[in-house]
Structure 1
Amino acid sequence: MRFIKQIFDFYINSSIHVALAVYCLAWLTLLKFNLPYDEDVLYFIFFASITGYNFVKYFGLAKFHHRSLASWLKIIQVFSFICFVAMCYYALRLNATTLLYIGGLGVVTFLYAIPLLPSKLLLDKHENLRSISGVKVYIIALVWACVTVFLPLINADYFIEADVIVLSLQRFVFVLVLMFPFEIRDLQYDSIKLSTIPQQIGVKLTKVIGVFLVGIFFLLEFFKDILPQNHIWASCIVSILLLLALLFAKKQQGDYYSAFFVESISIIWLVLILLI
């Protein structure tokens, strides 16, 4: 039983689960526009998500504790390097326009983790994008929307029409609500200078805004020109799951509430589309 828990913890801590969620959202985009399964771009997104998330999460730890790294962190470093190599392999299989787009997203990810910004722009001592007061959750939602909507379509040379813009707005709202349980959980850890949404307005009002955003998420489905019935039903079920995840979120959460259950909603969304 302990061994199974260690494997599961590695699955969560090494960012495989969150990468699978990003992969599922990107595949959903291809299904939405009746595009064929694109192994190259989807596998790139999966391995790039693991590489990027682990870089952001563990850069500071590796930098300041390189000689005394815990064994689990060393294993994650080796695993992340393998994923980086796989990411590079699939990147070479993408078209030039996609690579230029990826370069822009890579710069944002780099600035999100590395302290390069002038300190006068910041309210916290860490000079990177995620430390700028109040913007962390919006950066994450924007990057997820760009990666999971535009990246698969650009690689497929799909014309960016009105439905694509609506889907990107819907995906941005989805990820924004998805982040609220994490921000509520992190109230006990985050610096007050980060000015996260729950820090600024409190948990109750954060949930009220979240419920409003879930309504927007579902209504955006009806602004699309192409509206398959299975997508409507799937969006309805996903909206209910989002509401449950939001309403039951609290500062003292179980270890896997946000990291597993909340992140799983993206995976469930894909499964629903494939099954319905």
Structure 2
Amino acid sequence: MVWIRKVFDFFLFSSIYIALCAVIMLWQSGHLMHLSFSRDYYWFVFFSTICSYNFHWYLTQHSHNGGDRILWSSHHKTTHLLFYFAGVIGSVIFFYKLRQHGLVLFFAVLLTFLYSAPKIPLPYFRFLKLVAIGKTIFLTSVWTYVTTILPVFIAGQHFNHEMKWFAASRFFLIYGICILFDFRDRADDRDEGIRTMVNYFDEAGVDRLFLFSMIAFIFFTGGLLLSGVSLISVLILMIPGIILFFIYPIAKNSVSDYLYYFFLDGLMMLSALLMALLPF
């Protein structure tokens, strides 16, 4: 029905969905690494994600891929703006509550801002387009830092081997997903003067980069066994990577916003959902 489609589009394209992905990934970090951290951090990440993604899409004017998201955004600029301000207010409130961790939180805020800053139509930010060759690595690092590394700081813990294996595992899973996004958006990046690593490779080179990411993901995920993580947990962690590997040739030849922003983004939280729902 039409109203169901409208509700789903709102949930997905207003970035509520991706914000929930981030929160669920936080839960997994706490669960798997035995961390106890304030609920305020969950809210901070939720509102920060709402803020940053709506800011990004408010500034996005067009795309070679067209698609449902860019069309939805063009008709809902006011919605993006309202969600952006709601995200700012929520982020500030919970930043204040977590102010004892202000330095590490500010670093996350700065990294997040710099990702979208090249889209700001002001000369002060144009130079960032010239240094965006690591955009894919940059975005992957932000997600890994916020959902995997920062929880350790917030919990007042020190990194052990289990945490390092898990952070590396998550990094390469997200990196594999981001490679697909960059491959799809390569024409847009060229038009905007953003030089990414994917734009420097031919298609075979992108395939090799993706394969390297998947091998690294399997290696670091398997390494968790050396830190005492159960075999069933490791197998669950591997499931989204295995799905990503097999969906890669399909996704590479698709521009479907629902495939990318619902299915591929959802792979980041899939293992967390399985851990929460399965009786292990």
Shorter-chain TM band: 0.7 to 0.9
Are 2:37 and 2:155, in contact at CA under 8 Å, matched by a contact in 1? no
Aligned pair count reads 263
The CA deviation at 1:60 is: 6.3
Unaligned runs of 5+ residues in structure 2 are 62-72
Which residue type is aligned with residue 222 of structure 1?
G
Q: Which residue of 2 aligns with 1:160?
A: 159
CA change 1:223–1:28 in 2 (3 A) is same
Distance 1:130 1:229 in 2: 43
What does 1:54-203 align with in structure 2 at a 5 Å threshold?
Answer: 54-59=54-59, 72-94=76-98, 96=100, 98-114=101-117, 127=126, 129=128, 131-191=130-190, 193-203=193-203
The CA deviation at 1:157 is: 0.7
Distance 2:19 2:237 in 1: 21
CA change 1:195–1:70 in 2 (3 A) is closer
* Runs of 4+ off more than 4 Å: none
Q: Which residue of 2 aligns with 1:266?
A: 268
Are 2:51 and 2:83, in contact at CA under 8 Å, matched by a contact in 1? no
Distance 2:10 2:130 in 1: 27
Q: How large is the RMSD of aligned CA atoms in angstroms?
A: 2.8
Instruction: Please state whether the residue corresponding to 2:175 is helix, strand or coil.
Output: helix
- Residues 66-90 of structure 1, C-alpha deviations (whole Å, 9 max, x = no match): xxx9651102211232232222232
Which residue type is aligned with residue 105 of structure 1?
A
CA change 1:187–1:176 in 2 (3 A) is same
- Residues 37-96 of structure 1, C-alpha deviations (whole Å, 9 max, x = no match): 7422112111111111222332466xxxxxxx9651102211232232222232233251
TM-score by length of 2: 0.83
Q: Which residue of 1 aligns with 2:252?
A: 250
Higher helix content, 1 or 2: 2
CA change 1:187–1:107 in 2 (3 A) is closer
- Residues 211-258 of structure 1, C-alpha deviations (whole Å, 9 max, x = no match): 231121121123331312232111221221121232322244223111
CA change 1:51–1:234 in 2 (3 A) is same
Instruction: Please state whether the residue corresponding to 1:217 is helix, strand or coil.
Output: helix
Are 2:129 and 2:195, in contact at CA under 8 Å, matched by a contact in 1? no
Same amino acid, percent of matched pairs? 23
Are 1:43 and 1:90, in contact at CA under 8 Å, matched by a contact in 2? yes
